[in-house]
Amino acid sequence: MELNPLQYPIGKFVAPASITPEIRKNWIKTIDEFPDLLAQVASKLSESTLKKAYRPGGWTARQVIHHMFDSHMNCYIRFKKALNEENPTIMPYSENDWAHMPDGDEAPIEWSIIGVKSVHQRWVYLMNTLQEADWTKTYFHPERDITYPLDRVLGIYAWHCTHHLKHIESVL
């Protein structure tokens, strides 16, 4: 089945067979650099472009920016739970419902840009302190029925940064 390039501008995430420290280092760099890239792209958005969806039926640029904060805040908490508990079951949430709440539809994007920056600063700091064995710690996602090791989660969220940055850029 062919992917919709408007929905998946960089394709779907595919984890490498082996996640090496070098791969993790590059993914952490992506997470670290993302807030500044997001702020740069967002600075080019007018009120009218913030209301544009990146694809028919997709979220608006404003909703995508707020989604990044919601999603990455949740991931940071999930990371910490996995580091402190034995394979915790995380609490899923409806990303679409959250995107369509008033703060996702209407709030100033600057709030989420600041939030992403703050969460990423803490998250990168934390990840840079992890030992090799920490990357194999896991959490369980009950809706997907998948146990995720932290190194794979890191890859998914590095991909997530680039994936949604392309969505936001596409409305310009």
Q: Is residue 12 part of a domain?
A: no
Q: Per residue of the chain (172 residues), give pLDDT as tens.
A: 788 999 999 999 999 999 999 999 999 999 999 999 999 999 999 999 999 999 999 999 999 999 999 999 999 999 999 999 999 999 999 999 999 999 999 999 999 999 999 999 999 999 999 999 999 999 999 999 999 999 999 999 999 999 999 999 999 9
Cα distances from 1 to residues 4, 44, 126, in angstroms, run 10, 35, 38
CB of 126 closer than 8 Å to CB of 134: no
When divided into structural domains, the chain yields a total of 1
Q: Is residue 93 part of a domain?
A: yes
Q: Is residue 148 part of a domain?
A: yes
Q: What is the CATH number of the domain that holds 101?
A: 1.20.120.450
Q: Which domain holds residue 65?
A: 29-170
Q: Is residue 21 part of a domain?
A: no
CA proximity to 58, closest of 96, 1, 9? 96
Q: Is residue 97 part of a domain?
A: yes
pTM: 0.96
Q: Is residue 4 part of a domain?
A: no
